[in-house]
Amino acid sequence: MSNYDYDGKHLSTTQRIKIEKDLIDAQSFASIARTIGKHPSTVSKEVKKYRYFPERNEPKNLITCARKKICQLRFLCDKKDCVKLCKFCYSADCNRDCRTICPAYESTICSKIKKAPYVCNGCSKFKRCNLQHAIYSAQQADESSHDLLVSCRDGINQSPADIAMLDNLISPLLKQGQSLAHIYSNHGHEIPCSRRTLYHYIDKGVFEARNIDLRRRVRYKCKERKTATRISLAAREFRINRTYDDFKELLKKAPTTPVVELDTVEGGRGNSTQVFLTMLFRNCSLMLIFVLKEKTQDCVIEIFDTLSEELGIDTFKELFPIILTDNGIEFQWPQRIECNANGEIRTRVYYCNPNSSWQKGMIEKNHEYIRYVIPKGQSLDLYTQDDATLLMNHINSEARDSLNGCNPFKLSLLLLNNKLHKLLHLKEIPSDDVTLQPRLLKK
């Protein structure tokens, strides 16, 4: 048996039926285990755990008290002037009531059920035995096992004090727009259960916070996939030697080269002229947000020129060696983005394939954080660069599962030149103060 590979699964109904049958045939636990492909200890624990002790109410088959030989009790019955020991009273009424009227009653247990096989199945003296029986039934064991599996996962396995503590800790943070990943990263040592359990408690309505306070609980409808579109000759020219295939070839030669993804976020149709220019560093998920007065090439180039002048051309090259963006009209002047006003090369720009935003999926996913604060369709004209800085500081201070519980700001301090942080006034927001709700930039 020591070399046998056991499956480690729960016993099935069929296996329990085989156990019951082999117990009736007086088979050993080792023999039964070989039959069903389990370890003998598994069979032993199964029998001891799910055996039951049937009641015996027939007057002729009353179970003798285990203390009968040493019993000295008197005056348990209602007979007057009776001085005999109760154990010598042979009245049928007294025997019948012994279990209820005697405080010291103990049923006699057969020595055979104190050791293997622990049950009376297959015992030759079963019918004439006057002791307490122990029976293993496959049907009853299967039902009890199922009920146990259900009950173990039912209800709340926390004390009222722990539930109140969790509610006071988690509900206010969820209502600030924080994710459970961020909360668990900063308060995991205070939470006596797993993150999956917290989702379960919220779903059951245990906390003040509800499912509506969770960001992704309400699922978005899937958009129709766009069909491929033809690109005009003029639109193809800026992509020469800057396609996504060229980008992949470059990364094959230099896989450790930092990559910055570039994109824009727009307001509602017809209600906004300002847009947000966003940049995301792939190595640390730090996102930068700049307010553009218009969605034009000149505004984008102005941001790049300002950064390269303030940081210095060498620091800019270190921070932005490769830029990956889409084919938006605002990015279709690559020569000017790659070079400053004096013609010095400062970066290299590559473009995703048309209708393939997933090729820069990190920044697309990160835009969700902006939409938590500024819902889609809302005008961006009311926001200043100070608002954008506050927003990106809160976004970069949220802990991420993808960063093993760290937040982008802390990681960026290790991986990026800190001149960028000083220039853009980047700072970390205390974990409990992180707010990703519209009230952060309420206008």
Please answer whether residues 84 and 167 qualify as being in contact, where contact means their C-beta atoms are separated by less than 8 angstroms.
no
How many Cβ atoms from other residues are within 10 Å of residue 116's Cβ?
15
How far is Cα 44 from Cα 381, in angstroms, rounded to an integer? 74
Lowest-pLDDT choice from 190-194, 404-408, 435-439: 190-194
One-letter amino acid at 27 equals Q
66 against 212, higher pLDDT? 212
* pLDDT band at residue 396 under the 50/70/90 scheme: very high
Query: Among 38-52, 88-102, 203-217, 315-329, which is the least confidently predicted range?
Result: 88-102
The mean pLDDT value for 150-160 works out to 79
Q: Is 303 exposed, middle or buried (0-12, 13-18, 19+ CB in 10 A)?
A: middle
> Domains of the chain: which residue ranges?
13-63+107-150, 160-213, 233-441
223 falls in which pLDDT band (50, 70, 90)? low
- Determine the pLDDT at residue 90: 52
pLDDT of amino acid 111:
78
Peptide bond into 117 cis (omega under 30): yes
φ/ψ of residue 238, rounded to 5: -70, -15
b/e map 128-167, b = 16+ CB within 10 Å: eeebbbbbbbbeebbeebeeeeeeeeeeeebeeeeeeebe
Q: What average pLDDT score do residues 116-141 get?
A: 87
Please tell me the distance from the alpha carbon of residue 407 to that of residue 185, in angstroms, as a whole number.
9
pLDDT in tens, 263-272: 999 988 888 8
Over residues 77-124, the pLDDT tens digits come to 777 777 777 767 755 444 455 666 777 777 777 778 888 889 999 888
Average pLDDT on 264-282 reads 92
pLDDT band at 234 (very low <50, low <70, confident <90, very high): very low
Element (H, E) at 289: strand 287-292
Q: What is the pLDDT of residues 54-64, one digit of tens each?
A: 876 665 566 66
Alpha-carbon distance of 137 to 35, in angstroms, equals 18
Q: What is the largest CA-CA distance in the chain?
A: 124
Q: Which helix (H) or strand (E) holds 298?
A: helix 297-311
What pLDDT score does 387 carry?
A: 95
Q: In this predicted model, what pLDDT tens digit does every residue of 348-381 receive, in sequence order?
A: 999 999 888 899 999 999 999 999 999 988 999 9
CA angle 372, 377, 381 (to 5 degrees): 90
* CATH classification number, 233-441, choose in 3.40.190.10, 3.30.420.10, 3.40.50.1010, 3.20.20.370: 3.30.420.10
